[in-house]
Amino acid sequence: MRASLPIVLLLALLTGAILLDKPRQAAELTFINRGEVHTLDPQRMSWLQDFRIANSIYEGVVAHDNDTFEILPGVAESWEISPDGLTYTFHLRRDAKWSNGDPVTAQNFVYSWRRALFPDTAAGYADLFYKIRGGQAFFNWRSEQLASFPQQAAGLSQSKRRDLAARLFAEAVQRFSDTVGLRAPDERTLILTLEVPTPYMLDLLAFGPFMPVHPPTVERYVSLDPATGSMRQQHGWTKPPHLVSNGPYVLDVWRYKRDLRLKRNPSYWNPLAAVSDSVLCISVEDANTAVLAYETGTIDWLSDVGVDYRADMLAQKKRYMERNAARYEELERQGLGYNEILAILAKESPPRAGERNDIHAFAAFGTYFYNFNCQETLNSGAFNAFKDARVRRAFARSVDKQAIVDRVTRQSQPVAHVLIPPGSLAGFSGADGLRYDPALARRELADAGWSDRNGDGRVEDEAGNPFPTVEILFPSVSEHKAIAQAIANMWERELGVRTRLREEETKVAATHLQEHNFMVARGNWYGDYGDATTFLDLHRTGNSNNDRNYSSPVFDDLMARADAELDPEQRLRLLEEANAMIENEEIPLLPLFHQVTLYMYDPARLRNVSTHPRLTQFLHELEVAR
């Protein structure tokens, strides 16, 4: 596709800026992140692009294998878990050091996790730390302590308010030490005690918010606010040259909305971990410019392809793969993976005109779906037909999902029959889910009391009342609208119901969703950690993300039994039973397709790209062949 002249000029300016204003010599790996990095404070992170950098400049007690997501040693070289699954004892390696040469100690982790449990920090994932015994109680206690500060400080001078804030803070630190299940009996031993057994706790501990910070550096930017009594935390410590970290890389340069550069950390305990000596992440907001930066060789990897013509690019990739299908299958039978095969094909069979091999659609750890409102009545008080699981199953069976991904989205998304992406969780056997079957859908609807009784092409109940007009709520985005139109047409054609589209501005749609103010609504979810509960918890009664307001005592009981089950295999079977109940019978939501992430890279040049659905991509493992 030919670029417009303004875009070409913009690219020229971008390239010139990179070449003339480089912070150092050319990096060995250059890429465009999914978005601008917001923070390098691990306890305050919540964005993918932040975690991508964190995974290379910090290291937790444990780490992930980027291809299998098995748990590997990190700062902790070994650990034990008590028979009741509640106590974890980590033994830290002697050679773990901060980038300034200080040893990484167990006390550093206590300090860092305490930061997350102080509401003052405003940690986005503070709730994950509630799994630590006493964690949520402490968070709530400190919140109440801060709420009472204005009353206690009324009429006090500024200096007295500071004294009060310091006294309350000292009380909070002591209370944390006394009541929260986290201890460091010596520099190399960290003991963690949980509220309840959490089989995926090690997976959580490898997640960015659990990575440590260097206390002496952070403390230089902390003060107490005499107006509120809370910690006032400045974030200059996250910028070079101040940032002290403990991962394979250190932060060399960070110029907001321009570039971010990493270089090898000479103090890291595993000197072979970082494949490249340096990594450069450049900021490009325009999707077209980002693609052109890749195509002109300015970058090695584009981590998110957002151009409007990406479906056409994927069609070119499909033609290339179809032409090389036999050879691909032959190499696959030899046990080679996707990237290895593409690298061989790139040399044996370069793309021809109208083909390309450098755009890649990888299944992600997320699913696009439609919510069914499961309440007895709608918020308006009107009758809600979707309270009946038979109705929900009928509507689910009447959607041709393959047609949606083939003709509407055209982005190679895998059709979803279940919420949890298949193969994304080791040892977990997903349910079958419901398939496209219009005839069975109509029988399900008839079983629920809805059929065309007067021959007008519309279904009615026994009293002759027509099925309520099905209103579909979705954010005002062209892709969501196109999907809603396609599904509305399917439901009208296959089930004989009327539909109405309800397009709202994104924030308004989100508010209506959270307030259960809809009949059917577009939804989306990405898993936060490697356990089925990161998806199944969405269906628990009262869960804050249960937008459908679905409630089942049977399901809740299965989940509660899984929470209390110490045997890992039996726990998995309980979760599988709960999942099968949701996906095969209850259908509180209709999975449409599993999300994909679109990358651009030359498979013959960029090595070690993970195809695991969680798509973390450790920068220190990526290698560019020169």
Q: Which residues pair with 224 in a beta bridge?
A: 231
How would residue 9 be classed by pLDDT, with cut points 50, 70 and 90?
very low
Q: Which residues pair with 606 in a beta bridge?
A: 624
Question: Average pLDDT over the chain, rounded to whole?
Answer: 93
How would residue 124 be classed by pLDDT, with cut points 50, 70 and 90?
confident
Distances (CA, A) of 424 to 357, 427, 487, 526, 571: 25, 9, 27, 12, 17
Residues 6+ apart with CB under 8 A from 119: 126, 139, 142, 143, 146, 230
Q: Which residues pair with 158 in a beta bridge?
A: none
pTM of the model: 0.83
Q: Are 490 and 556 in contact (CB under 8 A)?
A: no
How would residue 21 be classed by pLDDT, with cut points 50, 70 and 90?
low
- pLDDT for position 127: 87
pLDDT above 60 for 391: yes
- pLDDT for position 389: 98
Whether a cis peptide bond, with omega within 30° of 0, leads into 241 is yes
- pLDDT for position 616: 87
- pLDDT for position 46: 84
pLDDT above 70 for 337: yes
pLDDT above 70 for 15: no
Please report, rounded to a whole number, the percentage of residues in the chain having pLDDT higher than 70: 96
Task: Give the tokens for residue 54.
Answer: 């964190």
pLDDT above 90 for 22: no
How would you classify the pairing of strands 29-32 and 62-64? unpaired
Distances (CA, A) of 19 to 24, 261, 289: 10, 14, 16
Residues of the chain with CATH 3.90.76.10: 52-236
Containing H/E element for 160?
A: helix 158-179
Distances (CA, A) of 541 to 442, 521, 560, 561, 588: 30, 19, 11, 15, 12
pLDDT above 60 for 427: yes
- pLDDT for position 25: 74
Residues of the chain with CATH 3.10.105.10: 363-596
The b-or-e profile of 513-531 (16+ CB within 10 A means b, else e) is beebebbbbbbebebbbbb
The greatest distance separating any two alpha carbons of the chain, rounded to the nearest whole angstrom, comes to: 82
- pLDDT for position 566: 85
Q: How many Cβ atoms sit within 10 Å of the Cβ of residue 64?
A: 23
Instruction: Give tens-digit pLDDT for 188-214.
Output: 999 999 999 999 999 999 999 999 999
CA dist 459 and 438 (Å) reads 14
pLDDT above 50 for 6: no
Averaged over 290-295, what is the pLDDT?
A: 96
pLDDT above 60 for 16: no
Instruction: Give tens-digit pLDDT for 355-375.
Output: 999 999 998 899 999 999 999
Averaged over 416-439, what is the pLDDT?
A: 93
Averaged over 331-339, what is the pLDDT?
A: 96
Instruction: Give tens-digit pLDDT for 512-546.
Output: 999 999 999 999 999 988 899 999 999 999 988 89
How would residue 8 be classed by pLDDT, with cut points 50, 70 and 90?
very low
Task: Say how many CA atoms lie within 13 Å of 246 toward its Cβ.
Answer: 28
Class of 52-236 in CATH:
alpha beta
- pLDDT for position 328: 98
In 165-277 the beta strands, taken as DSSP E runs, fall at: 182-186, 189-193, 222-224, 231-233, 249-255, 259-264
Instruction: Give tens-digit pLDDT for 89-103.
Output: 999 999 999 999 999
Averaged over 465-478, what is the pLDDT?
A: 95
pLDDT above 60 for 257: yes
Distances (CA, A) of 81 to 198, 199, 341: 11, 10, 40
Distances (CA, A) of 168 to 35, 56, 147: 39, 36, 12
DSSP state of 593: E
Averaged over 488-500, what is the pLDDT?
A: 98
For the chain, percent helix, then strand, then coil, each to nearest 5? 40, 20, 40
How would residue 225 be classed by pLDDT, with cut points 50, 70 and 90?
very high
Task: Give the tokens for residue 413.
Answer: 């998304």
CA dist 608 and 66 (Å) reads 9
pLDDT above 90 for 47: no
Quick one: 363-596 is in which CATH superfamily? Answer: Dipeptide-binding Protein; Domain 3 (3.10.105.10)
pLDDT above 60 for 432: yes
pLDDT above 90 for 2: no
